[in-house]
Amino acid sequence: MKAGKEMAILIFVIAVLVFYITSEKGDKTHYELPAIEALNRDDISGIKLLRDDSEILMIRKNNTWLAGPREYPADTSLITKMLDTVSGIRLTALASESRNYALYELDAKKQIVVEVLKGDSLLRKLTIGKPASSYNHTFVLLDDDYRVYHAEGNIRNDFDKSLTDLRDKKVLTIQEEISQVTIRKGNDELNLVRAVAPVSVDVSEENEQQKADDRGPQWTTADGKPVKSGEVDDILKTLSSLVCDSFIEEKLKEDLPSSVYTVTVQGSKTYSLSFFEKEDDKYPALSSESAYPFLLSSWKAEKIMKDPEKLLE
């Protein structure tokens, strides 16, 4: 009788424990993630980044993205990453309902608030905190939901940008064959043209012409003197897709003094690049293809700023 009573109590205790464990497990996993409708990227005309101490608005005008109050041309690759994230954000898990936002760097001092706009209308609000320890997810708040979620991917870096970061730093692009180059350094000037090399007096005209055809047009001075064509080609290669280090904020082109070095190249149009006295291992510079003064690191600038005399054979 006693043994049967003890067995019944034991079975009851086990049943209570099983119920408690299964109900606790169910409470932790039984929730539904918000259904998030994908945004049409063509509807997005603005992205606003809000930090504790700053606000940056990027807007789309005539299919071109512009950043900041002065509407600087924006870096297309960075904008594309942002659009990819905000239009198709994917939540993978509920992380917390405690409202302890500082733990996830979702408090006012550390959060990045992203507002996605269509004209003046708010399409989506995404508040971004720190990445999870695995860096496969990021803690976020969505719209006015107080709960903290895991968003797929380490997305904070895509939005953790200053206005300087967001500006398009490509200051010169040349996608055509260049026929003339003029280099000015101080009072020295060197004019170069691309032409078929002259026929040598020591070689038959037919053989020399064949060599010239095989070699293609070469760089010479305007009066026919040979130059180091490889170095001229290296200058043009650097100029063909020139990216600056940063822009000189609060300065206009006319605010810079006289240049110390200028290279001008001629194709179907004229391109020019001017350098000014070096400051802290960077050269202030101006490009005919950019409205804003900028800085080039000395190693990059000096790939272009060849001494005219040293280009001669």
Q: Are 267 and 240 contacting, i.e. CB atoms less than 8 angstroms apart?
A: no
Residue environment code for 148-180, b if the CB has 16+ CB neighbours within 10 A, otherwise e: bbbbebebbebbebebeebbbbbbbebeeebee
Nearest to 222 by CA among 261, 190, 183: 190
- The token pair that represents 6 in the structure block: 């003890």
Residues 6+ apart with CB under 8 A from 98: none
* Rounded Cα gap, residues 60 and 66, in angstroms: 6
**Extents of the domains making up the chain:** 41-166, 170-311
Q: Do the beta carbons of residue 238 and residue 145 sit within 8 Å?
A: no
Nearest alpha-carbon partner for 124 in 89, 81, 149: 89
Residue-level pLDDT at 219 = 95
SS3 label, residue 11: helix
Reported as type and span, the H/E element at residue 299 is helix 298-301
Higher per-residue pLDDT: 212 or 167: 167
With bands split at pLDDT 50, 70 and 90, how would you rate the model's confidence at 27? very low
Burial of 303 (0-12, 13-18, 19+ CB in 10 A): middle
pLDDT at 6: 63
In this prediction, residue 29 carries a pLDDT of 52
* Per-residue pLDDT tens over the stretch 250-286: 777 888 889 999 999 999 999 999 999 999 999 999 9
pLDDT in tens, 112-158: 999 999 999 999 999 999 999 888 999 999 999 999 999 999 999 99
- Distances in Å between the Cα of 135 and the Cα atoms of 2, 153, 234 are 59, 7, 41
Lowest mean pLDDT among 1-10, 178-187, 214-223: 1-10
The answer on pLDDT for 28 being more than 50 is: no
Query: How much is the pLDDT for 46?
Result: 98
- Could you report the per-residue pLDDT of 156-211, keeping only the tens digit for each? 999 999 999 999 999 999 999 999 999 999 889 999 999 765 555 555 555 555 55
The whole-angstrom separation of Cα 39 and Cα 43 is 8
Is 225:312 a contact under the CB 8 Å cutoff? yes
With contact defined as beta carbons under 8 Å apart, do 237 and 230 qualify? Answer: no
Q: Render pLDDT for 48-74 as a digit per residue (tens, 0 to 9).
A: 999 998 999 999 999 999 999 999 999
Q: How far apart are CA 71 and CA 60, in angstroms?
A: 10
